[in-house]
Structure 1
Amino acid sequence: MTLREPLPLNGPALVIRQEERADAAADLERSVELLRAVADGTIAQPRVVRLYSPMATVAMSRRESRMPGFETARRAASEHGFAPAIRPTGGRAVAYDESCIVFDVITREAEGSVAQERFFREIGDALAAAMRGLGVDARVGDVPGEYCPGEFSINARGAVKLIGTSQRAVRGARLLSGMLPLSGVDRFADVLIAVNDALELDWDPATFGTLATEVPRMPRAMVERALIAALAGP
């Protein structure tokens, strides 16, 4: 897999910008590989930030994989042109494709040093500030009826969800993953309607937001730079 590291950066983070798209399962497994490498010291830096442009994927949680409608949900994702996959973090079904930016931020932690809620809040505040720097009325907090609901979602105007985040921890490190759509969202809404119907989960498709609505014609490279600056830490 071809990786490009746009360094130097101020601070101790290793930044990986993945240029080559892999299949859905490989991209998600790469997140786990990086998490383990930070935890066991294979990667020396205490924080890793990874950005990539994914293949069309519906990423579901292990909890959803145990629900009665999961196989129907998998078929619905495939029928809509999305690869169904199980992601290593929590939450609920998320749909994305090459028009989106998916990111991982992994931090080393001594036992109990980085609480889940504190990490959600730290990254959420940083992401909201980054979006405001791009001209978005961005806030931390869920929007009623949003997909993959979470109190540390990044919303625009209190009306639509822009970025959702989810976590996984192992001994020695913690992973937070998220996704930002940059263009149209009708395709995502359509597949999530079918997937969530199969899982018997309610949500409001009108809450699916995109950066293109908030700040039209924003260059992808500028968005990536803003995300890297927010996630790499001080």
Structure 2
Amino acid sequence: MILYGQPSSGPAHDVELGPLLLRDGLGDATEILRVYSPAPTAAFSRRDTLRPGYAEAASVVERGGFVPVIRPQGGSLAAYGPGSVVIDHVHRSGASLSDPGPRFRHFADMHVALLTKLGVPARIGPVPDEYCPGEYSLNAGGAKIVGSAQRVTRHGWLFSTVVQVTGAAGLRAVLTPAYQALGYDFDPLTVGALEDTAPGLTVAAVTAAVLSAYGLT
């Protein structure tokens, strides 16, 4: 596995890089991992852009200091920033399309294990009216703390995960009006962060735990 360590040049670059690595690769690497903390980003899905309130939602997040971008993966709007850890795992198999279901479960189990070691009571499953809802979201204390999405192509797959470590209140402040504009059901109290149940936990500690889980430390 190769760890991609080049610095980010902004949210637009961040959402484009994973699919680019999936398509073009990095040397002859089969597995590529990128772990980073981004600038404030509001990642809309293509489905979001078809909603009547999309323009207003994009304007709302931008006024809140978040850069609106369109990500290639599915789902719905997710916001993240310097208090988040983003994990992009690229597997270049060159094989035909594969079933994404078992992969969601595998990574959910992996993330629960590493967060449990950090003192976070993480569980697999969505909470009602969460943002970007997913069967394999992770929750703790009644709020969503981790979300994942994936892209499968003829080149392999890209599995992207966002771990919210700190700053849930700031995410709530932009997600609430944006989801209202998009017309999705949403409960602001479902926006959580690891620090809510494990006070003092830092982005650096979570990043180190992720790299350790991949055997890269």
- Shorter-chain TM-score: which interval? over 0.9
Unaligned residue ranges in structure 2 (runs of 5+): none
Per the alignment, residue 14 of structure 1 pairs with: 2
Unaligned residue ranges in structure 1 (runs of 5+): 1-12
Structure 2: distance between partners of 1:48 and 1:114: 18
**TM-score (ref. length: structure 1):** 0.86
Cα pair 2:45 2:73 within 8 Å, conserved? yes
Q: Percent identity?
A: 35
Per the alignment, residue 191 of structure 1 pairs with: 174
May I ask how many residue pairs the two structures share in their alignment?
Answer: 216
Tell me how far 1:24 sits from its aligned partner: 1.2
* TM-aligned CA distance change 1:232 to 1:111, over 3 Å: farther
* TM-aligned CA distance change 1:64 to 1:48, over 3 Å: same
* TM-aligned CA distance change 1:219 to 1:187, over 3 Å: closer
RMSD: 1.8
> Could you tell me which amino acid in structure 1 is paired with residue 197 of structure 2?
E
SS in 2 for 1:103: strand
Correspondence 1:212 to 2:195: yes
Per the alignment, residue 150 of structure 2 pairs with: 167
Structure 1: distance between partners of 2:135 and 2:29: 29
Tell me how far 1:210 sits from its aligned partner: 0.5
SS in 2 for 1:115: coil
Tell me how far 1:218 sits from its aligned partner: 2.1
Tell me how far 1:26 sits from its aligned partner: 1.0
Tell me how far 1:125 sits from its aligned partner: 0.8
* TM-aligned CA distance change 1:167 to 1:231, over 3 Å: farther
Cα pair 1:35 1:175 within 8 Å, conserved? yes
* TM-aligned CA distance change 1:182 to 1:176, over 3 Å: same
Structure 2: distance between partners of 1:17 and 1:145: 35
Structure 1: distance between partners of 2:194 and 2:84: 10
Per-residue CA deviation, residues 105-153 of structure 1 (Å, 9 max, x unaligned), is 1112353474111111111110111101111111111111111000111
SS in 2 for 1:98: coil
Cα pair 2:96 2:154 within 8 Å, conserved? no
Per the alignment, residue 79 of structure 2 pairs with: 95
Cα pair 1:196 1:202 within 8 Å, conserved? yes
**TM-score (ref. length: structure 2):** 0.92
Correspondence 1:137 to 2:125: no
Correspondence 1:24 to 2:24: no
